[in-house]
Chain A
């Protein structure tokens, strides 16, 4: 892939990981599980970006966390807060609006 294209793709994808994380974490999940879910869903995200991102979203009040020590390996579970839900809804609406706008552009100019 040439550098120009990969630069534009990166630019376009920036921000989608936040929306996807807020959606996935409506069901509580921990770092590695979220990484797996996202990459299975086709989001290219690096562990070293995702782990700090989860903490940043928590600091912003969009996620909340809790340590689960029931299992042999204690894990930090994150869950989307009410505020996080509201933000996610707005972001998803915006995403849908952009998608529609792009599609409309395509049909008006491409016809």
Chain B
């Protein structure tokens, strides 16, 4: 039977580079025996002394990390901040773009409603987990490679600070404000003409409501361009924004709740449960999202306009509202 000391030494040293192993083995055994002898001299039983000495020495894997000079963490404090910044950017900016592109491709392909939802969910999970994993793996490797770590030491300068200009219209907002209507118009047209089976939305509305929505969406895209060129927020912007938002939200909610939104011939909802149930909950959900989104957008735009007009400070993004800057 292997002794306790043997088992301890083997466990610790199997994770130490081979060329150092023989020397450390000899030294570690001598140190353990010294500690055991000291305890025996103090009057302990030999077996108890061995157990106590090894317990004192602690987890052999930790000792091995010490000998091999391996860090006891995945990503240290130096690399943690860039790691967090990159991961956050990938998950909040790149991931949504990938998901939207794949969903649009599915719609263009004429996939069914259920398939499109499936694509959205699986892509979010797959791509999200992959992004987090590979980023972390690369940072963990860099953490263990002194040269790469030295080179990755990104110099920070004051130029990297966000600008926080109260009246400026951020380009990202303009971009999403343009992409969103284009996607919706594309989806509206494609669901009618490209689906091989029955369209999701009521085709009867092509007589007036669907063309009307396309016009409103086009106007919303135009509004974003106009706002960007204007470069500021004011009362006119507030009014135009409110009119455009309501022009889209009110008929939408009305159509949804008078059962004129979904195609009565479309029965694919049944795959996910009782058709009327799914339709009912979808109606409630979309209504809720549209109401909350519209109210928030009108309020935010009005607030920004009012602040810019009175030359007041603007909220610092991401501070949770309690933090203002003087423009």
Contacts and interface: CB of A to CB of B under 8 A. Distances in A.
Contacts of B26: 67, 74, 76
Contacts, number: 55
Interface residues of B, number: 21
A32 B67 CA distance: 16
B34 interface: yes
- Provide the main secondary structure of the chain A interface: helix
Interface string A49-91: 1011101100000000001000001111000000000000000
A46 B58 contact: yes
Interface string B31-58: 1011100100000000000000000111
B114 interface: no
- Provide the main secondary structure of the chain B interface: helix
B62 interface: yes
Contact of B63 (A51, A67, A75, A76): A51
Nearest to A33: B34
Contact of B67 (A31, A55, A75, A76): A55
A74 B30 contact: yes
Nearest to B31: A31
Given A56-B69, A76-B26, A48 B62 contact: yes
A31 B30 contact: yes
25 contacts: A30-B30, A30-B34, A31-B30, A31-B34, A32-B30, A32-B38, A33-B34, A46-B58, A47-B56, A47-B57, A48-B58, A48-B59, A48-B66, A49-B66, A52-B63, A52-B66, A55-B24, A67-B26, A73-B30, A73-B33, A73-B34, A75-B27, A76-B26, A76-B27, A76-B30
Interface of A: 30-33, 36, 46-49, 51-53, 55-56, 67, 73-76
